[in-house]
Amino acid sequence: MVLLFGFVQSNRKGPTSIIQYPFIESPAHQSGGLLYGSRALEGLLLPGVLCPGIEARARAVELKSREVPYTPAPPRPSPKPAPPPTLQPPTKGCVFAKSCTLPNGVIEHKNPNGFVPLESLTEYGAYAVLGTVGEITSAGTPLGWVGGSGSAASVVTRLGGSLALAATSTGSAVAAPFLVGSAALLMPNTTSSDSAFYKSEQYAQLSQGNTQVRMNLKYLDDGAVSVYGFYTGNQPDWRQVPVIAAVRRGEQLVADVGNGLEVIWTPAVDTGAVLGIPALEGMTLKPGAWVFPATEQTDRILENPEHPPQYQDFIIWFPTQPQIAPIYLSLSVRYTPGVVSGAGEDMSAIWLDHASSGMGAPIPTAVVDVLRGRTYSRFDSFRRAFWREVSRVPELADQFNVRVLQKAQKGNAPLVDFFDKAGKRQRYELHHLTRIVDGGSVYDVDNIRVNTPKNHIALHEQE
């Protein structure tokens, strides 16, 4: 006999179900009747005793009903490759001139070790050296061609005219006894796409402008002249020069550059037909023009050069002629030849102790007695002769060590103490009590004092 029996399966969260199982009664079962069968049924209903697999299968059904279809997550996008590192320009800003070896917008050499390369002046622009063709007058004396990176014709073409130097006058008298003057001219490639250059409209807002090079001229004993530049990027007090507007005076444009001098621009009648600036007779330019970093080695190479704070340089722009790009000029003026005069003063104690205060140290009588009556055509020549004579006066020479004396014997001024320096100005300087532009005598030793750079600057600030 086959019986069907069942029991209720309850799910706590699912519906109730009845599971049926067959029961087969054997002969042995018949002997026991239903009692045996009921016991068997009772045992069957004891979970985990006679049929532990039943509960496991029921549990599996329950878990199956809870399953949520598996949906794989979308694959993560591949990470974007990191952009290559970009080196930020060390310094951004606007300048009149910079080295064309630097990238767009970068105005300074910035090496971790502070190294600044020696560069050709042509890396900063086209340059020229010009000189007056005669004595500087109030009417203006044209500047002739000495030499440069290009031709005289190219300079005239770019300027659209020619340049002259003039002495400013008070009434009918010329204020300064200038003989001749020379000028170092720089014209950077400001038409390039480099964002570091000043735009033409910016010059109207400037009284001082930044430039990464400042130029100077040096007269040589053989009559030639050399031009060199100093890199200003690592010298904050060297970077700025005056920005001067050339104002209209008739058909000419005139820039008052101070110290009794004017720069006059005269337009060319036909720039296309201009052959160039007339060559200046009797002066030649030494080959090679370099921009030097400010180092002690540079001072040795250039043999005690003047440094930018002492330059008479400036940027001239032409507001009424916007087609003419601004130019940089550095002037070197020689005064009318003069004869050394004056009495000097007797000195006691340490002579140069007076150079750091007041009006400075007077010229010792012992030196004046040797120089008096000599004629000099350049103040630089007088300066060198002065220090040579100082080294030969025993009571003065005893105040210096051997190294200083060796420098003085070559015409070089001694170095000042550390606290008396002013930037790269490290040597004693000669100061005129009454300025030359105010009528002061150039070679009157009673109008001259020896000063430290710091005291010299302080005196000029009081003027």
pLDDT at 188 over 80: yes
In this prediction, what percent of the chain has a pLDDT beyond 70? Answer: 80
Separation of alpha carbons 306 and 238, rounded Å = 12
More confident residue, 186 or 168: 186
Chain segment 386-408, per-residue pLDDT in tens: 999 999 999 888 888 888 888 88
Over residues 198-218, mean pLDDT? 93
In the chain, the amino acid numbered 110 is K
Write down the pLDDT at residue 173.
35
Other Cβ atoms closer than 10 A to 362:
22
Domain extents for the chain?
2-65, 119-335, 338-461
Range name among 64-73, 161-170, 262-271, 443-452 with the lowest pLDDT average? 64-73
In the chain, the amino acid numbered 174 is V
Q: Which fold has domain 338-461?
A: 3.90.540
Confidence label for 47 from pLDDT (cuts 50, 70 and 90): very low
In the chain, the amino acid numbered 122 is T
Instruction: Name the strand (E) or helix (H) holding 218.
Output: strand 213-219
Over 158-195, what HEC string results?
Answer: HHCEEEEEEECEECCEECCCEEEEEEEEEECCCCCCCC
Separation of alpha carbons 458 and 463, rounded Å = 9
442 — phi, psi (to 5°)? Answer: -70, -45
More confident residue, 17 or 418: 418
More confident residue, 34 or 204: 204
Over residues 287-301, mean pLDDT? 89
Provide the 3-class DSSP secondary structure of residue 5: strand
Chain segment 309-361, per-residue pLDDT in tens: 778 899 999 999 999 999 999 998 877 678 999 999 988 778 988 899 999 99
Range name among 116-125, 337-346, 416-425 with the lowest pLDDT average? 416-425
Place of tokens 């023009």: 289
Handedness of CA 173, 178, 182, 184 (dihedral sign): negative
DSSP states of 339-363: E-B---B---S-GGGGGGSTT-EEP
Write down the pLDDT at residue 437.
62
- pTM as predicted: 0.62
Separation of alpha carbons 183 and 285, rounded Å = 12
Nearest to 352 by CA among 362, 342, 344: 362
Buried b (16+ CB within 10 A) or exposed e, 366-379: bbbebbbeeebebb
196 — phi, psi (to 5°)? Answer: -80, -20
